[in-house]
Chains A and B, each alone.
Chain A
C-alpha cells in the first residue's frame, strides 16, 4: 500500500472531509458504547439531546464553546504561520489573572466609568496572553529555539505563577482559605446574552473576532503574508516579505486571543480565578483548530461540535451507564479521523507493492 499525491485536491472533498471524519468517529465510538453495555442509538440520542435538545442544553453548549472558539482561533492563527503555540492554556490563565488584577480592585475603581475599566481589563487580558508568548516568539525568531517546547513548558510556569498569586497577594480573604482570587465587580462583567442562562456576550466577541480574522487572512496584505510565511518561509523571504515580523505578529495575536479566552471565563462565567477554571481549554483549542482545517470561521463550528460533545456527554452519562470520558474519546478520535481525512483529500491510496 502506498500514497500517491493528488495533483488537484477537489474543493468538495476538502469540505466533505470534516463531516466524513465525524461520521467515522461516531461509528468507532459506537463500538465503545456497545462495549460499555449501553444501547448505541439511545446513547447518541441522549448525547445530542444533552448538547442541543433544550434551551438549557443549548445555553450550556454555547457557554462552553465561548472559550473554545477563542483558544481555537489562537491555535488556528499561529499554526497558519507555522508557529506552533501549544501554550494557550498558560496564556488563558494569565489573561484571567490580568482581568482580575485590573477589574478586581473593588472600591478603587468605583469612581471610574465602567466602560473604561472594562476596556482596560480586555486590553490587560489580551496583553497578558501576548506577553507570555513574546519570549518563545523572540527565541524562535532570533535563535531558532523550538517553540513547541518553550510554549508547552511555559504552561507549567504560568500555572504555578497563578497558583502562587492565588495563595498569596491575590488571594480572596473572604474565600475561607480556598485558593481563589477576589471577584470582579459585577459592573465589569460581560452582559448576559440569554435570560436565565450563563451565555454571555463573550460569545459575540469570539464570533466577531473569528470573522474578523477570516477577513484579515483573505483580504489584507498581512493575511497574505501570514499564509505565505506559513506555507513557505524561504519563498516568502525571497519575495521580500517581512518573515520575522509576520511570525512575531501572529504569535502575539495568538497569545492575545488565548488571553481573551481567560478573560471571558472570568468576566463572563466565574467572576474570579481558580486553578481548576479551565479543563484544558488551551489544549482543546488545538484540536478545534485542526478540525476546522485552521479556518477561522470553521473554528466556530468545530468549537460548537466539541462543546456540544462535552456538555452532551455529561448529561448522557447520568442517564445511561457510559462514563462521560466518552466525550474525550470522541474528540480525540475526531481529531485523528480529521487528520486522516485531510490526508485522503491530498493523496490517494494505491494498493499493491511499491
Chain B
C-alpha cells in the first residue's frame, strides 16, 4: 500500500500494561490535509496511542510510518524531527518567560555561544502571520489568557516544523468564543496542508471540525467513519458500546430558599481567586449552575459552600440559619458535598474504602462510641453504599486510590447523599454542592451522576453546581450565573442564556454584562 496521501500510518499497535491491554492491534491512517478525530472514553487507549506515536512509550508490537518512513520507537526527538507536533491539554509553557523564549526553548544547541534571537524572532513572526496566529513575541506567557497560551503552544509546534499536529482535548479549557477561534485556526492549518489529529470527547465539536472519526473502545479501534452523515447519538453509542440514556429533565417548582449568600467576601489566598461581594440564593428543588473559566473564584465559592473556609465578610445561611466554617456542621445540616478534586480532596486514597465511606460522619454515634470506631455498623454502611451506588470494586478493604475516577466519584456522591447511617434514606439532602461533578468522567458515568442529581432535585434538594463544562450546565441546570474575577453575574434561567452570551460573560466582556443586566431587569 503506497498511498501518497497518507502522511502517518500506525499499523497493528499493541501495548500492554501488566494485565491491561491498553492498545490492541490499532491501525490508523492520517491523510494529508485532513482532520482525524480520535474519540474514546477515559481509559480507551487514546493517550497511550499518542504517547507511543510520540515516543514516550514503546509499543509491544506494531510500527509507525511518518511520510512513508518508519519512525524509530521510543524516541521523542525522532517524532519531532519527523514533523509530528503535539499540543497538550495541560500546556507545557514556562510562565515566567516570554513567548519568544518559550518557542525557542530547546531548539538551540547547547554549545552555540550566543542565542540567535533576531533570526528566531523573524521566523516566529513569519510563521505566525502565515497561519494567522498573531502574538506578541515579547509578552510574558504568565500574563496571557488561556486561549493565547494555546496559540503559543500551536506556534511552538509549527516553529519546529510540524506537519502533523496532535491536539489533546484542546477545547477543554477554552470559552466558546476561544473555541471558535481555535477552529478557525485549525481550518487555516488544514488549508495550508497540515494534517491534524483532534482528541476530544465532546461529540458536537468532533463532528464540526473533523473529516473522519476514529473511535477507540477498550484499547480497540471500533470504528473509523467519515464525520459527514453520522449522528451524535450514534457516536456516543460507538464510544460507550451501548445506548446511552440521557437523563430526562422534568419541570419542577422551586421551593423556599435553602442556601443564601449575602454580600460574601472570602480571604485572599495567593494563587487563588477569592469571592468579591457575592450574593446568591438557591431554592429547594432547583439546580443553580455557576459557569466560568477556572480560577475566577469558583474554588473559593465551593470551599465556602462546603463549610471548609469562612467568609471574611457577609453572611452564609442555610434555611435562614447562619453557618460557620465547619464541615461537620454542614454535614449535620444535611449538606451533600462533592469537591472538585476527587483524588486529593474527596477521598483519602491510602485509606480503605470503608473508612472513606464514613469519614464525614465518623464522630457521630452511628459510627463511633467513646472514641472507638464501631466497625460493624461502619462496614455495613460502606457495603450498602457500594451496592446502592454501584461502586465497582473488589472489596471495601481495598485502598481507595485503586478505584477508577468514575467509581471514586460514585463513592463520594453516595457518601454525600446518605443521611446519618442510612445509605438510601427517604429524604434526600437539603442541599447538594458539587464542584465539577463529572470532570474527567466518561459518558456513561456522567449520565449516571446527572441522573442522581436530577432525582435529588426532584425530591426537593437545592443543588449548586460549579462547572466549566457548558454541556453539563445546559443539560441539567435550571438557573445559571457566570463567575468572573470573584464576582458573580446575574442568575438567569437557563433558557435565557445562549452559548455566546455565556462565553462573553466568561471572558468578562462588558457587553455580556450589560446584556445580562438588561435581561435581568
B328 contacts which chain A residues (CB < 8 A)? 240
Determine the distance from Cα of A236 to Cα of B337 in the docked complex, in whole angstroms: 14
Stretch at the interface among B106-114, B143-151, B354-362, B445-453: B354-362
A44 within 8 A of B: no
Listed stretches A15-23, A226-234, A266-274; interface member: A226-234
Chain B's nearest CB lies how many Å from the CB of A121? 28
- B348 surroundings in chain A (CB, below 8 A): 228, 231-232, 235-236, 239
B271 within 8 A of A: no
Name the distance in Å between B171's Cβ and chain A's nearest Cβ. 29
- Of A7, A220, A224, the residue contacting B355 (CB under 8 A) is A224
Do A232 and B362 contact each other (CB < 8 Å), given the known contacts A8-B398, A219-B375, A238-B327?
no
Residue B188 lies at the interface, judged by CB distance under 8 Å to chain A = no
Selected interface stretch from B210-218, B234-242, B366-374: B366-374
CA distance A328 to B331 in the complex (A): 52
- Tell whether A279 is near chain B: CB-to-CB under 8 Å: no
Q: With A228-B359, A352-B74 given, is the CB distance from A238 to B373 under 8 Å? A: no
Instruction: Given A228-B348, A239-B360, A240-B360, decide whether A220 and B308 contact each other with a Cβ distance below 8 A.
Output: no
Q: Kindly provide the distance from the CB of B227 to the nearest chain A CB, expressed in whole angstroms.
A: 35
Verify A7–B402 contact, CB threshold 8 A: yes
A353 touches B (CB below 8 Å): yes
Q: Contact string, A1-23, partner B, CB cutoff 8 A, digits 1/0?
A: 00010011000000000000000
Interface flag for B223 (CB, 8 Å): no
Which residue from B18, B56, B345, B350 sits with its C-beta under 8 Å from A238?
A: B345
A349 within 8 Å of B (CB atoms): no
B512 within 8 A of A: no
Q: Which A residues are CB-close (under 8 A) to B307?
A: 240
Contact B74 A241 (CB under 8 A): no
Kindly identify which residue among A225, A232, A239, A241 contacts B350, using a CB–CB cutoff of 8 Å: A232
Question: Given that A8-B402, A231-B348, A353-B75 are known contacts, is A240 also in contact with B326, CB under 8 Å in the complex?
Answer: yes
CB contacts (< 8 Å) of A4 on chain B: these are: 17
Q: Could you tell me how many residues of chain B have their Cβ less than 8 Å away from some Cβ of chain A?
A: 37
Q: Which chain B positions have C-beta within 8 A of A232?
A: 344, 347-350
B354 → A minimal CB distance (Å)? 11
- One digit per residue, 1 when the CB lies within 8 angstroms of any chain B CB and 0 when it does not, for chain A 317-354 equals 00000000000000000000000000000000000111
- C-alpha spacing A225/B355, complex, angstroms: 10
Q: Is the CB of B372 within 8 A of A221?
A: yes
Is A214 among interface residues, defined by CB-CB distance under 8 A? no
Given known A7-B402, A234-B344, A237-B308, contact A219–B373 (CB-CB < 8 A): yes
- A222 contacts the other chain (CB 8 A): yes
Judge if B306 is at the interface, Cβ distance under 8 Å: yes
Q: Majority SS of interface residues in chain A?
A: helix
Inter-chain contact A238/B372, CB cutoff 8 Å: no
Q: How far is the CA of A240 from the CA of B360 in the complex (A)?
A: 6
CA distance A353 to B363 in the complex (A): 50
CB nearest to B375 among chain A residues: A219
Contacts of B398 in A (CB 8 A): 8
Bound: A354/B76 CA distance, A: 9
**Inside 8 A of B327's CB, which chain A residues have their CB?**
237-240
How would residues 402 to 443 of chain B score, 1 for a CB under 8 Å from any chain A CB and 0 otherwise? 100000000000000000000000000000000000000000
Residues of B within 8 A of A227 (CB): 350-351
B17 and A235 form a contact (CB under 8 A): no
Please determine whether A238 and B308 come into contact, CB atoms closer than 8 angstroms: yes
A220-B351 in contact (CB<8A): no
CB of B339 within 8 A of chain A? Answer: yes
The answer to whether A235 touches B371, judged by C-beta atoms less than 8 angstroms apart, is no
> Which residues 145-171 of B sit at the A interface, judged by CB distance below 8 A?
none
Query: A346 CB to closest chain B CB, in angstroms?
Result: 11
**Most chain B C-beta atoms within 10 Å of own C-beta, residue among A8, A231, A240:** A240
Contact string against A for B residues 163-206, beta-carbon threshold 8 Å, 1 for contact and 0 otherwise: 00000000000000000000000000000000000000000000
Given contacts A4-B17, A8-B398, contact A224 B347 (CB under 8 A): no
Find residues 458-482 in chain B having any chain A CB closer than 8 Å to their own CB.
Answer: none
Query: Would A221 and B362 be within 8 Å (CB), given that A4-B17, A240-B326 are in contact?
Result: yes
CA distance A331 to B450 in the complex (A): 56
Q: Can you name 21 A-B pairs with beta carbons within 8 Å?
A: A7-B18, A8-B398, A219-B372, A219-B375, A220-B371, A221-B363, A221-B372, A222-B371, A224-B362, A227-B350, A231-B350, A232-B347, A232-B348, A234-B344, A235-B346, A235-B348, A238-B306, A238-B345, A239-B362, A241-B359, A352-B58
9 A-B pairs closest in CB distance: A240-B327, A231-B350, A239-B359, A240-B328, A232-B348, A235-B348, A353-B74, A221-B368, A238-B345
Q: A8-B399, A235-B344, A238-B345 are in contact. List 5 more A-B contacts (CB 8 A).
A: A221-B363, A232-B348, A234-B345, A235-B345, A240-B331
Taking Cβ atoms with an 8 Å cutoff, the residues of A that contact B are 4, 7-8, 219-222, 224-225, 227-228, 231-232, 234-241, 352-354
